[in-house]
Chain A
Amino acid sequence: MEHSHDHHTPEPYKYAVHHSEEEGKKARRVIWNMFWVLLAITTVEVTLGLIWKNIGISWGAVKMTFIVLTIAKAYYIVAYYMHLKHEVKALKNTIIVPFVLFALYLLYHVITEGVYSEMMEKWLY
């Protein structure tokens, strides 16, 4: 390290994010747009949960719709509110890849073990 750690005149902190009034306006527009998206998705989910029995769609289709909408909602929160969309690629990958791999691994076990237990139950009893 070339520069000394002088406690009386600290170096300006280089990672801190600052933006102008103009950029702030743009950022706030994105924030509120995302709010409406999240609210719309939640409203669709709740409405579907309340009326799906009366409009003749199968439970399987409703379930899939819920899961797709939830993943969409999660994407918007992580990408925009947690700002991951605008981080560098290395950071994005470091966060997303291990998690998705592990989640898929768990999902695989839930499905295979679930089917296996059901089969065992039928064979044994």
Chain B
Amino acid sequence: MSNSTVMDSKTAWGGNNVSPYGASYGKLMMWFFLISDALTFTGFLSAYGFYRHYYSSIWPSAENVFTHFPFMHGNHPLLYVALMTFILIMSSVTMVLAVEAGHRMDKKGVTLWLGLTLIGGAIFLGSQAWEWYHFIHGTELGAIELGKGYFTLPDGTIESTKGIIARWTDESRQMLLLPWKDGADYITVTGTQMNEFVTNGKEIHGANLTHNEYGHPLFGDFFFFITGFHGTHVFSGVVINFIVFVNVIMGTYQKRGHYEMVEKVGLYWHFVDLVWVFVFTFFYLI
């Protein structure tokens, strides 16, 4: 890993005995592609940050939304996404070990580590599908999306109820929690007013692009777009890794005399992990 800058100036890309980058054309282009891709994700996360703070008082907290864990009952915030993060970091380690094995022309090593990377990627995709399933289906209890109407706040101001997501306090469905912009806490509603809200409102379960049981619909939109765009990257990463894996087994790179292709797909795979590091922080932690 230490001598990638050593090269023969006669074959340097760009000719004239000068190559400012000390890298092959393919590797350089992979880096340039990753930069443009990183800018796309930065745009996504910036937009998310903007709306998350713009609607900060009625924005759902991810730890109240993603609380499931397979084969376990009850509330387990952060645990599942922490596991997903661990799986992706682990697959990054196996990928870099595959690259290292390639530097020693160790075909068996590359096969083993790249194979494990494929498995890690597949498990991550499965986990993401599982999480989407739970987010889309929502809870049994559901929530009430309030219809047209007005509500007087404790400080006397009158607010429109249209589109506000009211959540039940518990299974008995005797009390609704209403979030208000600029309001410090939730406001509880019971009795006839609650019944009125329920009649005029709409019961919703889970989330899609226009409704979100957990709070502001934009939360759902950003969730689907950001994790979906990242998931698409993971998926194409797994496909590309698989093609390279087949080539490794067939001995293509052994014959070629170097495993630079593994290095190039490795760059892409680490980038996918890198993006998840940021998604994990900005979507799930903050």
Q: Is B105 an interface residue (CB 8 A)?
A: yes
Residue contact B274 to A27, C-beta cutoff 8 Å:
no
Chain B interface mostly: helix
Known contacts A49-B78, A74-B277; A19/B3 CB under 8 A: yes
Q: Is B8 an interface residue (CB 8 A)?
A: yes
Please report which residues of chain A, range 22-36, place their CB below 8 angstroms from some CB of chain B when the two chains form the complex.
23-24, 27-28, 30-32, 35
Q: Is B63 an interface residue (CB 8 A)?
A: yes
**Nearest-CB distance from B281 to chain A (Å)?**
4
Q: Is B73 an interface residue (CB 8 A)?
A: no
Please report which residues of chain A, range 103-119, place their CB below 8 angstroms from some CB of chain B when the two chains form the complex.
103, 106-107, 109-110, 113-114, 117-118
Q: Which of B1, B35, B93, B277 contacts A86 (CB 8 A)?
A: B1
Interface size grouping (class) on chain B: 35 or more
Please report which residues of chain B, range 238-286, place their CB below 8 angstroms from some CB of chain A when the two chains form the complex.
256-260, 263, 266-267, 270-271, 273-274, 277-278, 280-281, 284-286
Known contacts A28-B100, A74-B277; A87/B23 CB under 8 A: yes
Please report which residues of chain A, range 69-100, place their CB below 8 angstroms from some CB of chain B when the two chains form the complex.
69-70, 73-74, 77-78, 80-83, 86-88, 90-91, 94-95, 98-99
| Interface size in chain A (residues, C-beta < 8 A) | 60
Residue contact B267 to A82, C-beta cutoff 8 Å:
yes
Known contacts A11-B11, A86-B4; A42/B86 CB under 8 A: yes
**Chain B residues within 8 Å of A16, by CB:** 257-260
Residue contact A35 to B89, C-beta cutoff 8 Å:
yes
Residue contact A91 to B35, C-beta cutoff 8 Å:
no
**Chain A residues within 8 Å of B39, by CB:** 99, 102-103
Residue contact B8 to A14, C-beta cutoff 8 Å:
yes
Kindly state the separation between the CA atoms of A50 and B90 in the bound complex, as whole angstroms: 22
Kindly state the separation between the CA atoms of A124 and B71 in the bound complex, as whole angstroms: 51
Q: Is A13 an interface residue (CB 8 A)?
A: yes
Known contacts A35-B93, A81-B96, A91-B21; A27/B86 CB under 8 A: no
Residue contact A24 to B104, C-beta cutoff 8 Å:
yes
**Chain A residues within 8 Å of B229, by CB:** none
Could you list which residues of chain B lie within 8 angstroms of chain A, going by C-beta atoms? 1-5, 7-8, 10-12, 15, 20-24, 27-28, 31, 35, 38-39, 42-43, 46, 49-50, 53-54, 63, 77-79, 82, 85-86, 89-90, 92-93, 95-97, 100-101, 103-105, 256-260, 263, 266-267, 270-271, 273-274, 277-278, 280-281, 284-286
Could you list which residues of chain A lie within 8 angstroms of chain B, going by C-beta atoms? 1, 3, 11-21, 23-24, 27-28, 30-32, 35, 38-39, 42, 45-46, 49-50, 63, 66-67, 69-70, 73-74, 77-78, 80-83, 86-88, 90-91, 94-95, 98-99, 102-103, 106-107, 109-110, 113-114, 117-118
Top 8 nearest A-B pairs (CB, nearest first) are A16-B258, A15-B24, A14-B8, A88-B22, A90-B20, A70-B281, A106-B46, A46-B82
